[in-house]
Every structure is written in structure tokens, then in C-alpha cells.
Chains A and B, each alone.
Chain A
Amino acid sequence: MAQRTIAEAKALLDDQSAAINPQAWANLQAEVTDVERQVRQSALGYIQVIYDRAAHTTLVNGQGACEVRDAARVLTADLKAGRISAAEGAKRWNELRAQSRRLSAANERLAQDAEHIGVIEDDPVGFYDSTIHEKNPQLRPLFSF
């Protein structure tokens, strides 16, 4: 038994393919396939957690951006109609600008989350291998070979 990255296990099987009898090789190959399936499942669970959190944030962000836009338009109308003083207008404008900046920063983080999710969706096994397994030997899958 040995803990290896999936890439290491596959490379080892490829190297030994000629030396191992076909049935034994198929069994080892099935072992790798099973580990890949488990890792893929874990990766999808991880993605779902990030996605659920991001989806909630996008909903809040979208509403927030609409509120800032609409409030800024109302502010413009109030200022042009002379309904409010410059001091009141400046106070509201500063609050809206601060809110707008917060939303913009949150949207940047969401874009990064989307990139991150995309990388994992494209190659969940490769992602786990290159991040978790390579950096943490104790977390590498256990193989019989």
C-alpha cells in the first residue's frame, strides 16, 4: 500500500503495463478509476459550496447595484429640482459612492470565484492532485501498489 498522487499512480501503471499480467493491470487500473471518481465527487461538492455562497452574493449584489443606480438618479433629480441642500446632497452622494465601491469589490471577488470554479470544473482530478495531493502527502489517496 502506498499514498500517491493520482498522476503518480497513473504514471506508475503506465510504466508497469508490460510487466504486469493484463488481469492484474486491469484491477489496478480500476482502483485508479475508483479514486478518480471519489476525487471528482469531492471536487463537485467543493464547487457547489463556493457556487452556493457566490450565487447568494450575486443576488444581493445585483439588488444593491440597482438600488445605488436608482438612488443616484433620485438624488440627481432632487438636486436639480432644488429640493435638497448641497450638504444633504453631498452626504447622500458619499454614501452611495461608498456602497458602489463595496459592490464593485464584491463583484471582483465573484469574478475570481467564477474563474476558480471554472478551473476545477475543467479538470477536477487535476485540480485536487496539483493542489491538495501534491502539497499534502498525508492526504494523498491510498493505492494497493
Chain B
Amino acid sequence: MGTRAETLKKQVSTHAKIGDEATAALLEAEDALAGVEDRESRRASRSRVADPRRD
């Protein structure tokens, strides 16, 4: 394996690791998003119970 191929492979590997970190961060954000959606949903339910005319 020559030097250019090796250099490129190392860069690809480094970026793949950062990509894995990005994927992990996106999964964490997805969990946080699910939490917010759940809170908003419960809040909307409570509003409907408190004021049925809104439906």
C-alpha cells in the first residue's frame, strides 16, 4: 500500500470516528426530542381535559 492510499485511509478512518460521534449525538438528541414531544403531548391532553371545548 502506497503513501497516498495510506494517508487517505487514515483520514477516512478519522472522519468515520467523528461520524460515529455525530451519530451518537444524534441518538441522544432523538431521545431528548422524544422527551419534549411527550411533555408537549401530555400538556395538550391536560389542556383538553381542562377545557373540552378546545377539541
Contact = CB atoms under 8 A, between A and B. Distances in A.
Prevailing SS type, chain A contact patch? helix
A93 B33 contact: yes
Contacts of A76: 25, 28-29, 32
Interface of B: 1-6, 8-9, 11-12, 14-16, 18-19, 21-23, 25-26, 28-30, 32-33, 35-37, 40
Given A117-B4, A122-B1, A58 B12 contact: yes
B16 A68 contact: no
A103 interface: yes
Interface of A: 47-48, 51, 54-55, 58, 61-62, 65-66, 68-70, 72-73, 75-76, 79-80, 82, 84-86, 89-90, 93, 96-97, 100, 103-104, 107, 110-111, 113-115, 117-118, 121-122
A62 B14 CA distance: 8
A118 B26 CA distance: 33
A115 B8 CA distance: 9
Given A80-B32, A86-B40, 13 more contacts: A68-B25, A72-B29, A73-B28, A75-B32, A79-B29, A82-B36, A89-B32, A96-B22, A103-B19, A103-B22, A110-B15, A111-B12, A121-B5
A68 to B, nearest CB: 4
Contacts of A100: 19, 22-23, 26
Contact of B8 (A70, A86, A114): A114
